A and B are shown apart, each in its own frame.
Chain A
Amino acid sequence: MNYAPFQKAQEVMSTEEIKSMLEELVDVVEGVVQLRYHSRKTRQISFQNGRIRNVESGRIAGVGVRVWVNGIWGFSSTTDISKDSIYKTIKGAFNSAKMGEGLKEKVVDRLTTRPKKGVLKVKETRPLEKISLDEKIELVRRLDEDPRKISNKVVSTFSRYTEMIDEKVIVTSYGTSVIYKDSKVDAVVYVVASSNGEMETGFFSVGATGGWGELFRRFKPEDMVEEAVKIAVNKLGAKYPEGGVYTVVLHPSLVGVLAHEAIGHTVEADFVLSGSIVKGKIGEKVASELITLVDSPNPQIEEGASGILLVDDEGVDPMEVKVIENGILKSYLHDSESSTIFGVENTGNARAFSYSDEPIIRMRNTYILPGEMDPEEIISSTKEGYYLKGLGGGGQADANAEFMFGVMEAWKIENGKLAYPVKEVTISGQAFDVLSSVDMVGNDFMFTLGAGYCGKHQPAKVDAGGPHLRCKVKIGGRK
């Protein structure tokens, strides 16, 4: 397989050698120094309507340098992985930081850290580098071709496979010294179904940290195809919902979106400091006591979540955070600076997408813990309402936790049964009000947001999920 030099190439320097070099350089200036070597190999394949659309790969590498002097960060990066170049970059970042001296009113005098050491590697079952390009192309071809075999209403298909293989070396002046190997992978199927001049879309995706074992741990390629087709076809000729406030049963996919998008962003400490709705509310009841919401760097509840993070990009050992416990707000999400400001432990939520991005506070895997009810029982005990599944688009956070999500798949519930599908459902409300209205929590669990990226100045791989739960939300409809 001489066609994959990006995958196979012997690096000019080993990660061990890079680590030694960074360790020699980390003390050349005064102040706190974070050095982060990051190499990323990517591969993407897509098909549409029976033809290959692209086969791409890439390799990006560099060292991001961050220096903290008197409360101001200087940041720079270099793609030249040599001692000389990194030295100059550190000096440059130091000088940049000095430039901001005296311009900040509230300066903290130290950073809160918990440096990690060692060699870290995520679990990879069927590693990406061991699977041939042919096999990957074949997977994407099937995801594109098979929808038409299921329904003749399918008029357009698209499929895409993306992988990122990362190697990082993080060395800091406060003692981090880590080599970290990580891999993220996702696959999507998108279909358009049509009949009587009406067009509807269906979409299904999976994503994971690890290899194909993790990627297809719950849904196999054939399940993905079936789901995407079902979603699109069911919407053809479906009714529109009537707008209003309803009792709804949310599938884990929407619980995950709610946990991440509507709640999670408001508890990011940078957002809290600028005045999000949860500012000053630690210890207060913000949700139903049935709700415990967690942001975890390496969840044990289900393996392979997309947001797995074994060391954060400030070189801090990340910890699991109970954001809400039995309805009480317990913690925000922190980096080295915000944890000092709040006088709490650093939760290790600082993340950077690439070597040239600065670490900022991001979620990892955000989810609501399961409760005790059988999901089917939740539906059967609902007299009237809707069963809502999958994010259909939208989903933006706001400082006041007001949210609005499009729903991919929706059913009217009548007398405890799924009566008929409805389409173009959107849900909205204030996330904490919605969580306060929760009266039933399922005993099931699923991560569901693995194929997406969260955007906040830069992308990040995250995951989110939860059990089924029942609550009240506002449904937007045509009528």
Chain B
Amino acid sequence: MTIEDRIMKLLKEKNVDEAEIFIEKERKKRVFFEKNELKTLNQDEYTGIGLRVFLGKKQGFAHTNDLSRIEELVEEAVGLARNSQEDPYAGLPEPEEVEMVEDLYHEDVEKTTLEDTLRLGRYLVEIPKKIDSRISIDSAEITVSSSERKILNTKGVSLFERKSTVQYFVMGMAVEGEKVSSFDYRVGGDVKIEGIEDKIKESAESFAKDILETLGARNCESFKGSVLLSPDAFAMIFAMPISSLVNAESVQERRSPWAGKLGEKVASDVVTFIDEPKKPGSIFSISFDREGVPTRRTVIIENGILKTYIYNTYTARKENRKSTGHASGRYRNMPSISVISPSFVSTLPLKEIFKKIDKGVYVRRFSGNSNPVSGVFSGTVKGGRFIEKGEKTFPLIGTMISGSIFESLKKITAVSEEKEITFFGELPYVLVEDVNIVSK
């Protein structure tokens, strides 16, 4: 008998009204570098189970990675539900037809050995070091993994998806005598091994170039002007807060100032924000969400107009509508809500965007806050460059930018064709006007 069958049988004996079983499996090989050198070779695998049960309108959730003790898992989840409180909207989704995303699983990833992974890792670390000896790699890693997600519920949802990923990360700084640059990093990845070396090369070279250029940074004058955000800075200041603003839970719980703003202009015309979870061959894609609801392409902001919020089953039931397939999370927690694969429609190539900037600041990283409730963003520019007459000039230090997310969204004037993988999806460079720049 499979684990899920055993759990279902135990649940029947406990007279549970509804239940959901989520099983996650992962096998990975990971190579980790520290202080410019190989540190650890790691091989691992795990299986985790998250179980949600309903006794009437009361729900409980428990998780474990110990497959030998399924009885306890069931007992725990049922016990928590019994001691919980009723919620009229609690419940599970009905099964729906799911169109599976193509090209998410490659056997070559599964077959990649730890030796192969080590070779790729060394390639990643050696490129920047070869470019310039002033580059110091604080840490770098490459992880090759294959994973499975399985979701079943008592209403008949029964889904399974396999995915393979190769992900890498490199972080470091440039050191020249007493001078230390700001640190920077690159992340990247793919669902297959084929072609990964080219991606690694591109990321490592761009990383090296950027940190070298930021050695010997100084201040500029304070002014109000153009700010060009890197994909990573754009994620921090705008993309992540926007995703929280359109989260139906934030809206319903009165934590989102975008409540009641559907159909209204929230950004400039050039901003079109789409969740694209169905793109074949993308590391960010998934076919169904954490509750087994099919994911779908969702236009969230179109030419600056707010089109929809994003829902899981719980928040959808509160508004008597259907989930948009945005239930998220792993086996260790109950489903929450998040954007899956944020995508922004581009308007110009990056070099054309530079030409638009007479005087401004390029922000490689943003270290600060961007508060989706008050709308205020404020923080330090890291790895920044002063831009004059369309060209990057000297590197910046001690420079802060601040403003209102809501006002600045309306002052976005360009979105680049070039995109980079960040921790928050594959995102563009974005130009924003009239930002306060304080440097002293």
Contacts and interface: CB of A to CB of B under 8 A. Distances in A.
Given A79-B66, A398-B382, A428-B400, A245 B72 contact: no
Nearest to A356: B44
B34 A270 contact: yes
B184 to A, nearest CB: 10
B196 interface: no
B254 A394 contact: no
Contact of B379 (A274, A394, A474, A477): A394
B147 interface: no
Contacts of B243: none
A192 B66 contact: no
A54 B334 contact: yes
A372 B328 CA distance: 51
A296 B225 CA distance: 46
Interface string A52-64: 1011111111100
B72 A192 contact: no
A5 B14 CA distance: 15
Interface stretch (B35-43, B276-284, B409-417): B35-43
Nearest to A393: B369
A96 B379 contact: no
Nearest to A361: B34
B79 interface: yes
Interface stretch (A98-106, A169-177, A250-258, A319-327): A98-106
B20 to A, nearest CB: 13
B398 interface: yes
B369 A99 contact: no
Q: Which of the listed residues B39, B378, B400, B403 has the most CB atoms from chain A within 10 Å of its own CB?
A: B378
Contact of B440 (A134, A137, A245, A423): A245
Given A3-B76, A192-B255, A356-B44, A55 B61 contact: yes
B301 interface: no
Contact of A404 (B137, B255, B368): B368
A404 B122 CA distance: 34
Interface in A66-92: 72-77, 79, 92
Nearest to B28: A356
Contacts of B48: 60
B82 interface: yes
A478 interface: yes
Interface size of B as a range: 35 or more
B248 to A, nearest CB: 13
B89 to A, nearest CB: 9
Contact of A60 (B40, B64, B374, B398): B64
A424 B180 contact: no
Given A4-B76, A52-B87, A394-B367, A72 B137 contact: no
A426 B369 contact: yes
Given A158-B253, A406-B369, A137 B173 contact: no
Contacts of B61: 54-57
B76 A402 contact: no
A212 interface: no
A3 B369 contact: no
A58 B87 CA distance: 22
B402 interface: yes
Contacts of A58: 62-64, 332
A426 B400 contact: yes
Nearest to B176: A275
A48 interface: yes
A212 to B, nearest CB: 18
B175 interface: yes
Interface in B367-406: 367-369, 371, 373-374, 376, 378-380, 382, 397-398, 400, 402-403
B308 interface: no
Contacts of B368: 393-394, 404, 406, 426
Given A60-B65, A76-B42, A274 B373 contact: no
B136 A155 contact: no
B316 interface: no
Given A3-B79, A76-B42, A100-B41, A399 B183 contact: yes
Given A56-B62, A428-B380, A6 B138 contact: no
B379 A79 contact: no
A57 B76 contact: yes
Contact of A424 (B76, B79, B376, B400): B376
Contacts of B319: none
Nearest to B375: A199
A402 B397 CA distance: 9
A476 interface: yes
B40 A358 contact: yes
Given A404-B367, A424-B376, A398 B64 contact: no
A228 to B, nearest CB: 14
Ranked 10 nearest A-B pairs via Cβ: A3-B79, A393-B369, A404-B380, A96-B41, A274-B138, A406-B369, A275-B175, A156-B254, A73-B40, A58-B63
Given A3-B78, A275-B173, A398-B367, 13 more contacts: A48-B253, A49-B253, A55-B60, A55-B61, A55-B84, A99-B114, A200-B374, A201-B371, A274-B35, A393-B369, A426-B402, A474-B440, A476-B379
23 contacts: A3-B75, A4-B76, A5-B72, A52-B85, A52-B87, A56-B61, A56-B333, A56-B334, A74-B41, A74-B42, A76-B42, A96-B114, A274-B138, A275-B173, A398-B382, A400-B181, A400-B182, A402-B397, A424-B376, A424-B378, A428-B400, A476-B378, A476-B379
Interface of A: 2-6, 9, 12, 48-49, 51-52, 54-62, 72-77, 79, 92, 96-97, 99-100, 103-106, 133-134, 137, 155-156, 158, 192, 194, 199-201, 235, 243-245, 270-271, 273-277, 356, 358, 392-394, 396, 398-400, 402-404, 406, 423-424, 426, 428, 457, 474, 476-478
